[in-house]
Structure 1
């Protein structure tokens, strides 16, 4: 008799906006994490007001998914004002849990919004099983691990704790320990730990060697004295090759980073991890990794991919510097709004320029894909056009296979 997976891990996707949340759930996410209008670390994301949260929770619960709200800022005196009312309101809306790193906000949440589950944010840097047990004793339901934790450490945590474990498996990696960075504070007067990160680590820098006082030589300069540009940021995390070990380690929730990313990114990554997790959990003895999953992720990757801290301490090969070593080859161009099976006409909302003679790829949940050439295109008035150049323009075209609303379209650059 073959192995049976008794618990399938949750796929947790970013819900930067209401549209992104719905997209993530449509493409297979079991849960989404979002931000409110205060107390989070993504002040420039499309954060949710209370009516939007109600709609998000209603949509998620109707699709058997959950919604978590990030309130993981580090509070200075005064930042906690209004937090009690905030936690009570999101609890009453039906939010499934709140992510917190600051013990002050935890106390307020427990006191003013009893019954609202608390998950420890990755900002709190949980890296050992004693820490997990401490937070479990404090009443927390789940711990989001620091990204600096290795696979063997996770396995030991699972053996020695009962609290739920959530771990990042895909997306951008902060260059600082668990995201607790002050570069943005110093260089842009924007507090990264209170939602204002300017992503200073991703800026391009010149690096000089000072040989003599007043004499500086660019490091890595060419014959004309032009130097390479350096950044301080890391390549992206991707654990798609390692789904069996993630599941066997007992991780309860596989987290995808990217509340600031597009619906193209969210749909693609959720789709891939859904397919891989389902495939392994359905038949672990005969599981085979599919190269198409990795190929799919590269269609939205903006940086190289690596396994972060899971198996080793990252070295300089996991650092971004110099010219981009892998260029993204696809651009997101549209989303299907509706489809008429009798005429085979799809109504499309344009997101980037595309037109007649372009070969595009349609894709949808369940890893549905097909390519076709656009042979004709009409605007909303039914007039033939060569291209759809205007953002959010509504166009129609005939498609060779059936598509569904919320299916996506991209083209090779």
Structure 2
């Protein structure tokens, strides 16, 4: 009997030890969401290396192919507004599973598509699934974490970086066989993620007791935007995402690489994104403060895009600049996401919904705009326009600095 008591007490003691052990000492539910987030973001990156292949095989212009990003991001922006309501009604676990299930379904259908417009429509469904998963995954990791908001966000951004670095390499490898391969690959990965979450993630305790943890009204994200700090950060992210998706949706056409070669480029990009998210961003935040560090990274991004615009015809320079952008974007993503979590006195799920709605508007506009600018003017202009939008985000921070003071004052210790 005593041995049984000891064995039953052991897991509790182990869990207590893990919870005290710092960054890595997270409950199993956090690691389940972390692993599944890697798979979800691998799915986003799998399509990146085959953009040129899709243009050639489906006889579509680059701007038409870029609509794969536009439909995806536009639907994701709108769907972000309902993620809190959905997770309130169905719980975080079911919402995450619904998101993954939708992605698995539309990706396998994409593998059988015969034209670009079918793919554009399916990518809109992909955006819905990704919205349900991404917004809820961040909230789930924060709420289940035993080590505070900041460390949960760093872990989430690490999952983003790992997924978006490994995804393009896998997509490029599968895409070198057939452009349909990455779509089928995404579907298999999503099924794997579905199984992991089903088995490993517990129901969050607040939901199990019946207490709501997310906004009960669709109007809550709009009400949250009345807080100037949250609205400012959302607009900053929308402007910054114009530059971000200029790299994602336009740079592949400029580099002119084969799918597998493109995969290696974005592997380097994603590795730097992951490493800086976890190791560099917290140090910058501690040393400079959130706002100064954020502005510095955005200015570096302006310079990087400007270099791409000046040397667009030299693919080696563009490749190097794209890889370097991973380091800048990794820092920027973590700093901005951390700032949003403490920007307004509202539920974090509400902040996330309002912020994501605004930032994905920029992400929806950028891909089509960049490729249209290249088609109607020249190949350099999209990078300069992207740099201009990112520069506007820095100026916007400067003009609204008084509304963002609480972010540095409430800065969490990493």
TM-score (norm: length of structure 2): 0.26
Greater RCO, 1 or 2 (C-alpha within 8 Å, sep 6+):
2
| TM-score relative to the length of structure 1 | 0.26
Whose strand fraction is larger, Structure 1's or Structure 2's?
1
Flag the structure with higher helix content: 2
- Larger radius of gyration, structure 1 or 2? 1
